[in-house]
Amino acid sequence: MDCSVCNFRSAVDSCAQCHVLLCEVCGVTCEGCGKMVCPEHFHETSRGSKLCQVCYEERKARRRASAKAARAASGELGAEESPQGIPEEEAEEEEAPVGREPPRPWKLSLYAASTAAVLILIMLLLPGLRRFALPGGGYFPTPYAIFLVLAFAVFWAVVGLVKEEDYYERRRSFIGLGIALVTCVLVFLAVYTDPARLAEIEARRIQSMRDRMTPDQLKQWREQRLKRFNP
What pLDDT tens digit does each residue of the chain (231 aa) get?
777 777 777 778 888 888 888 787 788 888 888 888 887 777 777 767 778 888 888 888 887 887 777 777 766 544 444 444 445 444 444 444 444 567 888 899 999 999 999 999 999 999 888 888 888 777 889 999 999 999 999 999 999 888 877 777 788 889 999 999 999 999 999 999 988 888 888 888 878 877 777 887 777 767 776 766 665
Q: In the prediction, which pLDDT does 152 show? A: 95
Q: Which of 173, 183, 31 is nearest to 113 (CA)?
A: 183
- 22 contacts 38 by C-beta, under 8 angstroms: yes
pLDDT at 217: 75
pLDDT at 90: 46
pLDDT at position 187 is 94
Residues 61, 136: one domain? no
Q: Can you give the pLDDT at residue 179?
A: 95
Instruction: Based on the fold, state whether residues 85 and 112 are members of the same structural domain.
Output: no
Q: Are 205 and 157 found together in one domain?
A: no
CA–CA distance, 37 with 27 (Å, rounded to integer):
6
Does a structural domain hold residue 8? no
Q: Is residue 41 part of a domain?
A: yes
pTM for the model = 0.51
CA distance 5 to 21: 8
Phi, psi of 151 (to 5 degrees): -65, -40
50-56 — which CB contacts under 8 Å span 24+ positions?
52/16, 52/17, 53/17, 54/16, 55/30, 55/31
Residue 80 resides in a domain = yes
Domain that holds residue 113: 105-193
Task: Quote the number of domains for the chain.
Answer: 3
Alpha carbon distance, N-terminus to C-terminus of the chain: 83
CA distance 38 to 146: 40
Asked whether residue 26 falls in the same domain as residue 74, the answer is yes
Per-residue pLDDT at 113? 94
Which CATH number do you get for residue 23?
3.30.40
Asked whether residue 115 falls in the same domain as residue 187, the answer is: yes
The answer to whether position 24 is within a domain reads: yes
- In a shared domain, residues 126 and 184: yes
- Cα–Cα distance measured from residue 136 to residue 117, given in angstroms and rounded to the nearest whole number: 30
